Structure 1
Amino acid sequence: MHILVTGFEPFGKDSFNASQEAVSQLPGQISNHRITTAILPVSFKRSAQELDHLLAEHRPDALICVGEAGGRDAITPEARGANLDDARIQDNDGDQPRAAAIDPRGPDFLEASLNPAAAVKMMLNEGFKAELSTDAGRFVCNHVAYLAYRQPVPSLFIHVPALRPHGVEATVGAETDPGARKRSKLEVGQLPRALEAAIRGACSIQEETSAENTGDVHQ
């Protein structure tokens, strides 16, 4: 299976994004899956354009998008994306949509089409703190999650904590959870291995489903 995995560039006043760091360090192959990585702009408009371009260029069998959430201490695959942009801060282009539908004709929510629970289970099995989330916020991460979940390829959005190198504090990332920030015990260097586990978990379920649908038998 060929999987396209995206992260995000830094935004706000930060020069670091945990999703970009983690995605950029993924290997070119995970199990028997070929991995292509790319970084999306933190822009409501351009993220959609770039995602369409990447899907047309690479034609992957599955899509996994990764962003950071500063209010969380666990890695959280998103069960659904909401049809709403409601930004607390401006994106990198200076846009700040408030209470605006992503697709005025679309449903209020779209569900992940790669199994988020299987991704959580695999990460937990390998010792990483992970939880299922049903709220991707209303910033660019949720925007991309909603767009990903309406694609014809199986898709999943994963939030990682807004981790930083030692001695650096994140000033952004709480757009997903605007309450008190939780301090994660994870370190930024652990994120690539955690994402590998998530990819194996989510995509193993997808492969089993595909095999059942096609009549393939796996030994």
Structure 2
Amino acid sequence: MSGSTTRVLLTGFEPFGGEAVNPSWQAASLVAAEPPDGVSVTAVQLPCVFGESVAALRRAVAEARPDLVVCLGQAGGRPGVTVERVALNVDDARIPDNAGAQPIDEPVVAGGPAAYFSSLPVKACVAAMRDAGVPAALSHTAGTFVCNHVAYGLAHLLATELPGVRGGFVHVPWAPVQVPDGTAPALPPEVVAVGVRALLQTAASTSTDLRVTEGTTH
């Protein structure tokens, strides 16, 4: 860390799947424009493309030299902000990415571990967001699309090249503009940003996670 300020790299994704916006990038931009106390934030937009997304992340990490990396992604249908606990070494795309690639049963990193746990204090981060009035939960799956690809790529980078840096992945719900008929959960990016600010402050100041139940049965 640099003095009393924690340097944070915060990423979001470009729109994908025919959407006009991606709330992960909207939230990241808002947090970078008004970061929480004790934290400096560099926001970078990642392409929603297998391979290139992790390459762009690596470039951003090299340039920003952060103490903490938090990658945001969209999880349409989830009702709150979800902190991912684990990233899997598998790409299994239900739809093509923005470059038209659709890998099936391919490793993110050939020969890499089957999975990585987040190095964020995931349960403390969830509690902090709830305390800030933002619906939040712990998630045990980041899916198998580009979000999980980046989550695993980040974890592998930190574990193998930057062991002093911590990081993890966080999913955000659809923005209301993406659900105009109100038939699915949505959160305004401004509300998501409130949660992310609380998460960043907690991640920057907490080394030991809470020992509370956040498990699920399915």
TM-score, with normalisation over the residues of structure 2? Answer: 0.85
One-letter code aligned to 1:187? P
Deviations 1:122-150 (A, max 9, x none): 00111111000110000000000001112
Q: Give the Cα–Cα distance (whole angstroms) in 2 for the partners of residues 130 and 28 of structure 1.
A: 21
One-letter code aligned to 1:11? F
Q: Give the Cα–Cα distance (whole angstroms) in 1 for the partners of residues 155 and 44 of structure 2.
A: 18
- Aligned-partner SS, 2:194: helix
Partner of 2:80: 74
One-letter code aligned to 2:200? I
- Aligned-partner SS, 1:60: coil
Is 1:98 aligned to 2:104, yes or no?
yes
Is 1:4 aligned to 2:16, yes or no?
no
Partner of 1:190: 191
Is 1:56 aligned to 2:58, yes or no?
no
Partner of 1:164: 176
Structure 1 position 28, deviation (Å):
5.1
Contact 1:7 1:66 in 2 (8 A): yes
Contact 1:43 1:140 in 2 (8 A): yes
Q: 1:169-180 residue pairs with structure 2 within 5 A? A: none
Structure 1 position 168, deviation (Å):
3.8
Contact 1:28 1:34 in 2 (8 A): no
Contact 1:82 1:108 in 2 (8 A): yes
| CA separation of 1:70 and 1:167: change in aligned 2, threshold 3 A | closer
| CA separation of 1:86 and 1:76: change in aligned 2, threshold 3 A | same
| CA separation of 1:62 and 1:166: change in aligned 2, threshold 3 A | closer
2:21 to 5, 8, 16: 16
Contact 2:46 2:57 in 1 (8 A): yes
Partner of 2:51: 45
Q: Give the Cα–Cα distance (whole angstroms) in 1 for the partners of residues 65 and 192 of structure 2.
A: 26
Contact 1:64 1:157 in 2 (8 A): yes
Contact 1:120 1:131 in 2 (8 A): yes
Partner of 1:108: 114
Structure 1 position 182, deviation (Å):
4.7
Q: Give the Cα–Cα distance (whole angstroms) in 2 for the partners of residues 162 and 77 of structure 1.
A: 15
Identity value in percent = 37
Is 1:202 aligned to 2:203, yes or no?
yes
Count of residues in Structure 1 that have an aligned counterpart in Structure 2 = 197
Q: Give the Cα–Cα distance (whole angstroms) in 2 for the partners of residues 134 and 52 of structure 1.
A: 24
Partner of 2:215: none
Which stretches of structure 1, 4 residues or more, deviate above 4 A after TM superposition?
none
Structure 1 position 95, deviation (Å):
0.3
Q: Give the Cα–Cα distance (whole angstroms) in 1 for the partners of residues 178 and 147 of structure 2.
A: 25
One-letter code aligned to 1:161? P
* Runs (5+) with no aligned partner, structure 1: 171-180, 210-219
Structure 1 position 188, deviation (Å):
3.0
